[in-house]
Amino acid sequence: MATENSNKYPSFIYGTAWKEDATADLVERAVTAGFSAIDTANQPRHYQEQLVGDALLKLADKGINRKGLFLQSKFTPVGGHDHRIPYDPSANLTIQVKQSIESTFKNLHTDYLDSYLLHGPYSQTILGNEDWEVWSAIEDFYKTGKVKYIGISNVNIVQLELLTEKAEVKPMVVQNRCFANRGWDSEVREFCKTNRILYEGFSLLTANPFVLRNPEVQSISRKLGKTPEQVVFRFSIQAGITPLTGTSSEQHMKEDLQTMDFELKEEDVKLIETITG
């Protein structure tokens, strides 16, 4: 079941997209600051997964071992890559998934993943044959025990309902971009809550700069002695969203983790949930 390992599931995740050559240093800094969960993908166009692995080796030398970390990666369809494709694009999809995840194990110097996601469906609207074949291949890795959670990213409500209804192994995790003017992905989040699917949100700050500038949010932050960014992250946690942060600032890493040290009033959570512009 989706919640069977939920006591081990992280409350905050450090995201490594678009970090390029700084990836290893930033992952090391993030874990040193207190993050125990790292999100990556075997997609050289946007992620340097091998550099995440380099950071993990350095951290291991400092006594921070693999078992103390939560590692999440993704299978990216051919259309999401540039010329650097980490599998044979002429192979069938099942082989592509196998080659991609085995490359991820090598990149991260591990023999298992805590979470593995389909980076996005092949279709923008429904689920096609490609999606079902890839999901079946991901299910197979879950059955071997080499993946603890499986899920999907960049998914709409129709696709998620289909996958949950028809898949042999139901999705356990959803990772979506959250736009405040779309209710912070409220329809998908509500479905996840009802079906005991863990929900991760990314771009919580970058997609919603107007929320940070909102006078009421700024008033809440002043009263609590917290930054507007901390208030938004705390809101997300109380709203059932496991937040991702991709900050490159060591100070912001520490501040982000301090969101675990306070709570918002219920009326403040409801207020932020209704900000649309």
Report which residue type is found at 204. L
The structural domain count of the chain equals 2
Q: Is there a domain that residue 247 lies in? A: yes
Q: Which of 150, 166, 187 is the last residue of a domain?
A: 150
DSSP track, 9-47:
S-SSEEE-TT-GGGHHHHHHHHHHHT--EEE--S-TTT-
pLDDT of residue 220: 98
Domain extent, residue 72, equals: 11-150
Query: Which residues define the annotated binding site for substrate?
Result: 119
Query: Which residues define the annotated binding site?
Result: 119
pLDDT of residue 1: 32
> Mean pLDDT for each 10-residue chunk of the chain (277 residues)?
54 98 98 98 98 98 96 98 98 98 98 98 96 98 97 98 98 98 97 98 98 98 98 98 98 98 98 94
CB atoms within 10 A of CB 151: 27
pLDDT of residue 8: 80
Model's pTM, two decimal places?
0.96
Q: Is there a domain that residue 236 lies in? A: yes
pLDDT of residue 60: 97
pLDDT of residue 5: 40
Q: Which of 97, 130, 150 is the last residue of a domain?
A: 150
204 lies in the same domain as 247: yes
**Strand ranges in 16-172 using DSSP code E only, listed in sequence order:** 37-39, 70-75, 113-118, 147-153
